[in-house]
Structure 1
Amino acid sequence: MASDSRQQGINQIKEKALFDCERGIAPKATTDQFKCGRCGQRKCTHYQMQTRSADEPMTTYVTCVNCNNHWKFI
C-alpha cells in the first residue's frame, strides 16, 4: 500500500537494523584474571568505562562467560 519511495525507505531501515543486529556489540577483552563468585570459573570478559569524574579511577565491568554473571568494581 505504501508508495515506492516509502517502501524503499522502509527497506533501508530494515537493512540497517539487520546489519546492526548481525554485527552485534563490540568485542570485549577475555581474561582469566577475574574469578566468578557464582560458578568459580575464570573465563570472563571485561571492559572499562569512565563513569565518574576524571580524577577518579575507571569502573571495570566483568561478565562471566560460563554463567553470564555480571559485576563491577572500581
Structure 2
Amino acid sequence: MRTEDMASDERKKEIEEIRMRALLKCKDGQELKGTTDQFVCGKCRKRECTYYQMQTRSADEPMTTYVTCVSCNHHWMFC
C-alpha cells in the first residue's frame, strides 16, 4: 500500500488541490509575451502571434524564428 492510499479523506483532498494548483501553474506559468500582427496563422488566419528567434545553425546562416498563435496555439517555425 502506498502512503497516499493510507491518508485520510481530508488529506487526499488537500493533495488533489495541491496537484491541481501545480498543474495550472505549469500550464499558465509561461511568461506573458507581447503579441505582433506581423505573422498570419495558417490554421485560424488571425494575426495575433508571439515569436522568438534562436540561432540553431552555423553563424553564417539566418536565425530560426519560432511563432505561436495566441488564439489557437498553433505553432510553426521558419528560417
TM-score range (shorter-chain normalised) is 0.5 to 0.7
The answer for unaligned runs of 5 or more in structure 1 is 1-17
Show the counterpart of 1:41. 46
Structure-to-structure mapping, 1:54-65, within 5 angstroms = 54-65=59-70
53 and 30 in structure 1: CA distance in 2 versus 1, 3 angstrom threshold? same
Q: How far apart in 2 are the matches of 1:70 and 1:56? A: 22
- Assess if the C-alpha contact under 8 Å between 1:61 and 1:70 holds in 2: yes
- Assess if the C-alpha contact under 8 Å between 1:28 and 1:47 holds in 2: no
Post-superposition CA distance 1:24-46 (Å, at most 9, x none): 34443420000000000000000
The size of the alignment, in residue pairs, is 55
36 and 27 in structure 1: CA distance in 2 versus 1, 3 angstrom threshold? same
User: Which has the larger share of strand?
Assistant: 1
TM-score normalised by L of structure 2 = 0.60
The answer for unaligned runs of 5 or more in structure 2 is 1-21
Q: What amino acid sits opposite 1:50 in the alignment?
A: Q
